[in-house]
Chain A
Amino acid sequence: MSTPLVWVGVVLSLALAVWAGWYVLRNKPVVLRQLLGGAVVEVYLLIQLVVVLVHPAGGGAPSGLFWIYVGTQLFILPLAATWAFAERTRWSSVVLLIAALVVAFLQLRLLQVWGS
């Protein structure tokens, strides 16, 4: 798997994490624009999936574990968005923060599990 493909995902999800973290500090709930930001990250993850399916660069076939990760990470942000938006306190921002950090973490793990 090509490394830049992952790093763009890491940067996007960390940006979302910083945005959510800022709202936690300011004691504010998630706003709609942040969910649109989450949608941007999600769309990128889908693009990433398509690119890997069409053109698995980086040598060797991806492992079964890799596909588990790719599949699992797609669920994180939609679940978090639904769950967070039901709460109108700062804790909804905490939920989005956790979700964005987990996506960034999973992106990095993709590089590790590629050929394992």
Chain B
Amino acid sequence: MDSVRRTSEGPGRALVMTYGILALAACARGGYEVVVKFDKAPLAYSLSLFAGVVYAVATFALATNRRWLAWPTVLTEMAGVLVVGTLSFVAPDLFRLSSVWSWFGVEYLLVPLVLPFLGLAWLWRSGRAPDEASVPVDPAGGTDRPIG
């Protein structure tokens, strides 16, 4: 595995942090909704909790360099936010009360919409063997410098 970068390092460091925060936010929200007021909107609240679990698995997979788990998880996340986001516009009756992925995650500043694309881009990019063209991640070229 020397030829590819670990998914937790470099840009992946920030990606894992973002996934972790979303996991925390969605699990706390979904868990609270399901426990306290599940009957009001079973579909939306179950989806929030499901989103939280997906984010938690993605966080774990990316943080521990488990690509085989990260790929399907991030793809699930992408499908989820796109399908639920679209449905919330096309069939708003389904989601009178919102879930994490409703309206493409606008309550979370659209981060849920952007994140799977960044995740896939990072999985793809970090998984390639480095060559001269792809290694410099940052124009200043100082990414791997030790603390100064």
Chain A residues engaging chain B, CB cutoff 8 angstroms:
27-29, 31, 64-65, 68, 71-72, 75-76, 79-80, 83-84, 86-92, 94-95, 98-99, 102
Contacts and interface: CB of A to CB of B under 8 A. Distances in A.
Contact of B13 (A27, A75, A91, A102): A91
Contact of B14 (A27, A71, A98): A98
26 contacts: A31-B147, A68-B32, A72-B24, A75-B24, A76-B21, A79-B17, A79-B20, A83-B17, A84-B17, A86-B13, A87-B10, A88-B146, A89-B142, A89-B143, A89-B144, A90-B138, A90-B142, A90-B143, A91-B9, A91-B14, A92-B13, A94-B13, A94-B14, A95-B14, A98-B18, A99-B21
Contacts of B32: 64-65, 68
**Interface of A, helix, strand, loop or mixed by DSSP:** helix
A79 B9 CA distance: 16
Contacts of A79: 17, 20
Category for how many chain B residues contact A: 20 to 34
Among all A-B residue pairs, the 7 with the closest Cβ atoms = A94-B14, A91-B13, A95-B17, A87-B13, A89-B143, A27-B140, A27-B142
B126 to A, nearest CB: 12
